[in-house]
Structure 1
C-alpha cells in the first residue's frame, strides 16, 4: 500500500464504499422480495411508466433493450475479450473482462432460481421469460458497458471525447435497464437490484484487475 499513490488509495477506498452501499441496497431489496413484500415504487412505475405496445416510446425501448440481450452481450463479449487478448500488453484485461461477464451471468441465474419472483408480464419477444429478480438485462448491461467505460477512461486521452464516450455508455446501460420497466417485463425493484449487483461485481473485478496490473508494474520496475 505504501507504494501506491494517494489518488489510487482514495479511488480504492471509494470503490469499497460503493461496493458496500450497492450490496446493502441489493440485500435490503432481496430480503423484502423473499418475504413477498409489495413495493410502492413498483406499483407507481407499473401505473405510469409501462407503455402500450403501439406507443412510439415502447417501440424505441424495444430497440434499446436489445443492446442488453443475452445474445448481443454474449457475441459482443467474445469479440471484446478476443480484442483485449491481442491488443493489450497485459492478458489480465481479457481475463478479468471474461470473469466479469461470466461471473455476473452465473450470479444472476443462480439468484433468479433462489428468489423465483414472477414477472409482471411474460413477453418472449423482449427476453421477458423466466424469473424476474434480479433483472438480467440490468446486471449484464452494467457489467459489460461499465467495463467499456473503465477501458475508455484509461485509454482515451482527449478530454471531451473521453467524457462524451463515458457519458454515452453510462446512459446506454441505464436506458437498457429502464427499458425493462417500460416494456412491462420487470418490476422497478428488479432493475434497481440488478444495477446494484452489477455495479458491485464490476467494481470488485476492476479492483482485483488494477491490483494485479500494479503488482506487475512493480515487478518490472524493481
Structure 2
C-alpha cells in the first residue's frame, strides 16, 4: 500500500469537511442556540482558571502561534528543506503555507463574526475561524506530510503526529481561555484547514498521476 492516502479518500474527506464547514458557518451566522450554548459553556468552564498569573502564561503560549512566529517556523522548515537539497519543496511549502493562511484571513473577513466580549488581551479583527488554530493545523499537516516524504520511521511519524495534535489542542485552548475566540471558532478552523489541505493534496496527487500516465 502507498505511504500516502489515496487521492479519492482525500477528496471524500476534504469534501465532507468543506460541507460541514459551510453548514457550521451558516449555523453561526444564524446564531444557532446550541452553538451559543456550547460557546458559553466553554467560557464558563474555563472561568475558574482565570487569574493574572495564568493569563500571562497562557498569553505567552498563545503568542507562540502568532502570525509572526508562524512565519518564523515556516522559514525554518523551508531552510531545513533547502539544507536537504529540496529547494523546490521548500519554496512550494512557503507558498502553500502563505496561501492557506490567506484563505483563512479572507474567510474571516467575509464572515465578520465579532470576537467574544471581556477579552483578556488586547486584539482586533474578527473571530471566525481562529487564525492561530488554523495556522497551527496547517503547520502540523505539513510537517506530518514531510515525515512521510522523507521516510521517517513509523514510530517517528506517529510520535510527531501525536505531538502535533497536542499542540493544536493547546493553541485552541489558549485562544478560548483568553476570550479572543469562541470554541466554535476553533472547530471552524479545524474544518476549513482539513477541507483545504485534503482537497489541495488530492487534486495535486491526481494531477501528478494524470501527468505521469500522459508521458
RMSD (Å) for aligned C-alpha atoms: 2.8
Query: Residues 160 and 141 (structure 1 numbering): CA distance in 2 closer, same or farther, change over 3 Å?
Result: same
> How far off is 1:77 after superposition?
1.3
Pair 1:30 & 2:30 matched: no
Pair 1:69 & 2:70 matched: no
Q: Does the Cα contact within 8 Å between 1:134 and 1:190 map onto a contact in 2?
A: yes
State the TM-score, normalizing by the size of structure 2.
Answer: 0.82
Q: Which residue of 1 aligns with 2:164?
A: 169
> How far off is 1:178 after superposition?
2.4
Higher relative contact order (CA 8 A, sep 6+): 2
State the TM-score, normalizing by the size of structure 1.
Answer: 0.80
Q: Does the Cα contact within 8 Å between 1:141 and 1:177 map onto a contact in 2?
A: no
> How far off is 1:214 after superposition?
5.5
SS of the residue corresponding to residue 130 of structure 1 reads coil
SS of the residue corresponding to residue 49 of structure 1 reads helix
Query: Residues 165 and 190 (structure 1 numbering): CA distance in 2 closer, same or farther, change over 3 Å?
Result: same
> How far off is 1:96 after superposition?
3.4
Match for residue 149 of structure 2 among 124, 132, 154: 154
Pair 1:105 & 2:81 matched: no
Q: Which residue of 2 aligns with 1:84?
A: 81
> How far off is 1:26 after superposition?
1.0
> How far off is 1:66 after superposition?
2.2
Query: Residues 124 and 61 (structure 1 numbering): CA distance in 2 closer, same or farther, change over 3 Å?
Result: closer
Q: Does the Cα contact within 8 Å between 1:118 and 1:131 map onto a contact in 2?
A: yes
Query: Residues 106 and 49 (structure 1 numbering): CA distance in 2 closer, same or farther, change over 3 Å?
Result: same
Pair 1:129 & 2:124 matched: yes
SS of the residue corresponding to residue 21 of structure 1 reads helix
Question: Which sections of structure 1, spanning at least 5 residues, go unmatched?
Answer: 1-5
Q: Does the Cα contact within 8 Å between 1:45 and 1:188 map onto a contact in 2?
A: yes
